[in-house]
Amino acid sequence: MANIISDETIEYVKILAKLELSEEEKEQAKTDIGRMLDYIDKLNELDTSGVEPLSHVFQVSNVFREDVVTNQDERERILKNAPARKDDSFKVPKTVE
């Protein structure tokens, strides 16, 4: 394990994450974080010169549809439900004096 995590680093992470860790849990965290960093180092050894950068793991195409109006002017049909109306609008009681 090339990445050695210090007690100070674990203490700092513990404070940032607002964790309460026992001594055993601190030691386990040091081991786990060291293993993660070792794995990242291993991934950095890969030759990615021929790999195109991705914005997403899966091939994604534009999923947006064209904005097409599908309903007609139904103002009259809607206003038939109005208990009171004024011109082409709902008429409601005054709420603010």
Query: How confident is the chain (97 residues) per 10-residue block, as mean pLDDT?
Result: 83 94 93 93 91 82 80 84 86 86
Distance CA(86)–CA(90), nearest Å, equals 6
Instruction: State the Cα angle at 54 between 50 and 57, rounded to 5°.
Output: 115
Distance CA(1)–CA(31), nearest Å, equals 9
Instruction: Note the pLDDT of residue 2.
Output: 66
